[in-house]
Structure 1
């Protein structure tokens, strides 16, 4: 069996949420626990940090991994979805899981997969956990998928739980309203394990703190300790309130991903230090400054081209898109024009997102090559509703090439709306 044959088996045999949506979801952890038991419970053989949240969990996971790596630890990193390569999901110190391991795992577990009938996500979680256990890590940073309480990653007992944010996304699966979503995310908090919370609505914070109290888990709200502001040249200035001092952190991670999530990471690192981790201030500075370089993080306010300035970001829900539009507006000085390559998943709150889009821009509507993608014709209806200037295209690549051709050297091209639109950009 070749590497490509192994991937084909995973994609063809197992339902994958990113492609088919809620039909791929499992309602409990039964499958994951069966898989783990069959493989001698690899999740028990390494230390971990568990990260959930509506927005920011991927960036936060990569920040933790980069700092811990800079501190000299052997660090595993599990994230999802991938953008270009399946192997992006499973890394150790920035190195992608070897193709040979993926092939070996699929060959060994084919029978098990046919017996258990897991989802794509369930089997990739167990694949990552077994790999991390074999490699004798110091610690693994684990990003939850969707939700938390019933997420396949939630069979671990971490040393730190992190909930980055709570917003309205996936209400069809997690329940309607902030309170239900917060309750699902809070499910990653384990008995006696400290938790760090990012910026979130008061109701969400209350729900999570109540759950943490039930679990006797110390709960820290990062923004009670730190506040931040974005400076020029992609530097974030962090105000440490207890010591009443300011520190500047430069980073190759751009946009709101660094500004919103760095205080969470700093508080989490403080908790880890208390628990015995040797993390110097110098390691923090180095890890933050080179998070993209060290971990290979993609798709977060990522600059694709210099001329015309071309940016891509996978943010796709109401909160994330609102922030992205604000940042794009700041770039539109003088006669600079904005060209937006845009597509969305059809199971999102599309109408709420589309009304946030900048009016003064040229839109290139397209659909990613997945079943969940919203039809271009449906996007067009909303484009007309919100008086957007748009054209439609048969593929992401055609839309991207048209935007590049129409943009003047001083203009801005932005690619977004869906992780899978960004993933199909050839320049990524």
Structure 2
């Protein structure tokens, strides 16, 4: 079995939430535990940091991984979904797992599946693959991003050094609940007994949930945005953000450099700073220089893509993976702060999510290019255009992302801006 055959097995033969939706979601961790047992419990052989949340958990995970790398720790990073290559999900010190490793692990699983007698999901297999790889490569620590929810996510068999929950928004409501409180309860499932938990954003609807779960589990809880205040400063000549940071009301950094794009990163920095503070208190050797160097080179060190990523100039071409109302609100704000003569937006969404909340936030003065990604979950572009018209959004339709992108670029003047987003899968096809 070669790499192509392996990917076909992983994607096509096993249910995968990103492609087919709720049918891929499991309501227990039985398969994950069995797989971990079979491979010798690799999840117990390295230290971890567990990161959940509706928006920002990917950026937070990459920043933490970069800081740990800069401090000299051999650092694993498990994230999802991928944009261009499956192997993006599993990295050590920024380097993707090799194709040979993916093939060998999958073959070992398949050869022993009669003994295991289970039918694991795509998530369960990839998490098990990552943990086994990290253990065999003897990483010092792995930053593990939750895929969906928290309580029942396949990653939730670890006992981390710190649990992190970035924020809570109305996403995946068919699986996680139809209120912020219910969704928070699912995310709070990663809080472990006695393990400190960092909450990135204090929200009226969710604070009580986190406080109660943490108290029940005797887990110290910290609301990072109550301690750290981050203000957007300016951008240097290389495009890095220079941020002003205050801690407990006192100036901490005047110009903290961050190479991750997007003004919304100021919301993701407080939980990173608080987590690093807690790790230091536990005895982790992370100097001030290590932390600042990691943050200044996070994108470069971890190869993060799709966060206000500039693809070209004249016209300005930007993509972003923000795909729910909370994430898109920040993206739209950044658009409003970006100079351009005319705005062109290539937009696609998935059909199992309610698009109205997202569409209600989109600028009405843009020219839209409605399209669909090449997955079964994608909403048909004409249906999207019909719904969007009710919010004053108008433009053309295209059955492929590449055609929509080409049309937008063709219509854009050199001083215009072309934005691509609405779905991770739209961005993935552009990249």
Is TM more than 0.5 here?
yes
Q: Any idea what the Cα deviations from partners look like across 1:3-24, whole Å, max 9, x if unmatched?
A: 1111111112111000000011
Equivalent residues of 1:368, 1:420 under 8 A apart: yes
Query: Separation in 2 of the partners of 1:307 and 1:283?
Result: 36
Give, in whole Å, the separation in 2 of the partners of 1:158 and 1:187: 13
Paired residues, number? 424
Q: Is the 8 A contact 1:179 1:203 kept in 2?
A: yes
CA offsets, 1:285-326, max 9 Å, x none? 111111110000000011111221111100011111111111
SS of the aligned residue for 1:131 comes to: helix
Is the Cα contact below 8 Å between 1:197 and 1:222 reproduced in 2? yes
- Offset, 1:380: 1.4
Is the counterpart of residue 375 in structure 1 residue 380 in structure 2? Answer: yes
Change (3 A) 1:418 1:113: farther
Displacement after TM superposition at 1:205 (Å): 1.4
Deviation at 1:236, TM superposition (A): 1.5
The answer (yes or no) to whether the contact 1:253–1:292 under 8 Å persists in 2 is yes
The equivalent residue for 1:41 is 41
SS at match of 2:317: strand
Per the alignment, residue 228 of structure 1 pairs with 230
| Cα displacement (A) at 1:244 | 4.3
2:126 equivalent to 1:124: yes
Conserved 8 A contact 2:385-2:394: no
Q: Does structure 1 residue 265 correspond to structure 2 residue 269?
A: no
**3-state DSSP class of the match of 2:155?**
helix
Q: Does 1:148 align with 2:155?
A: no
How far apart are the structure 2 equivalents of 1:328 and 1:243? Answer: 31
CA contact (8 A) 1:332 1:338 kept: no
Which residue of structure 2 aligns with residue 14 of structure 1?
14
Which runs of at least 4 in structure 1 moved beyond 6 Å after TM superposition?
Answer: none
> In 2, are the aligned partners of 1:317 and 1:349 still within 8 Å (CA)?
no
Matched, 1:177 2:186: no
State how far apart, in whole Å, the 1-side matches of 2:285 and 2:67 are: 11
Give me the whole-angstrom Cα distance separating, in 1, the residues matched to 2:103 and 2:254.
46
Q: Is the 8 A contact 1:63 1:265 kept in 2?
A: yes
Q: Is the 8 A contact 2:232 2:266 kept in 1?
A: yes
Q: Is the 8 A contact 1:236 1:258 kept in 2?
A: no
Distance 1:245 1:40 in 2: 45
1:388 is displaced (CA, Å) by 1.4
TM-score when scaled to structure 2? Answer: 0.96
What's the CA shift string for 1:44-75, capped at 9, x where partnerless?
11100000001000000000000110011100
1:324-369 Cα shifts (integer Å, max 9, x gaps) = 1111112245xx1001010001111211111111000011110000
Structure 2: distance between partners of 1:398 and 1:235: 36
Question: 1:383 touches 1:390 (CA, 8 Å); kept in 2?
Answer: no
Task: Give 2:96's aligned residue.
Answer: 96
* Contact preservation (8 Å) 1:252, 1:291: yes
TM-superposition CA deviations, 1:205-256 (whole Å, max 9, x none):
1101110111111001101211011111021211112654443212220114
Query: How big is the alpha-carbon RMSD for the aligned residues of Structure 1 and Structure 2?
Result: 1.2
Correspondence 1:254 to 2:261: yes
SS class of match (1:307): coil
Asked if residue 165 in structure 1 is aligned to residue 167 in structure 2, the reply is yes
Q: Separation in 2 of the partners of 1:256 and 1:120?
A: 33
Does the 8 Å CA contact 1:240/1:246 hold for their aligned counterparts?
A: no
Q: Which residue in 1 is equivalent to 2:139?
A: 137
Contact map agreement 2:264 2:331 (CA 8 A) in 1: no
2:156 alignment partner, SS class? helix
Structure 1: gaps spanning 5 or more residues: none
Which 10-residue stretch deviates more, 147-156 or 252-261?
A: 252-261
Deviation at 1:112, TM superposition (A): 4.5
Determine if contact 2:43/2:131 at 8 Å carries over to the other structure: yes
CA distance in 2, matches of 1:350, 1:63: 30
Aligned to 1:64: 64
CA contact (8 A) 1:88 1:96 kept: yes
> How much has 1:389 moved relative to structure 2?
2.2
Q: Residues 112 and 347 (structure 1 numbering): CA distance in 2 closer, same or farther, change over 3 Å?
A: farther
Q: 1:342 corresponds to which residue?
A: 347
Secondary structure of the residue aligned to 1:424 is helix
Q: Does 1:313 align with 2:332?
A: no
Pick aligned residue for 1:329 from 336, 344, 369 = 336
Is residue 59–residue 257 contact of structure 1 (8 Å, CA) maintained in 2? no
Distance 2:201 2:422 in 1: 23
Tell me if structure 1 keeps the 8 A contact 2:32–2:124.
Answer: yes
Equivalent pair of 2:202/2:226 in contact (CA under 8 Å): no
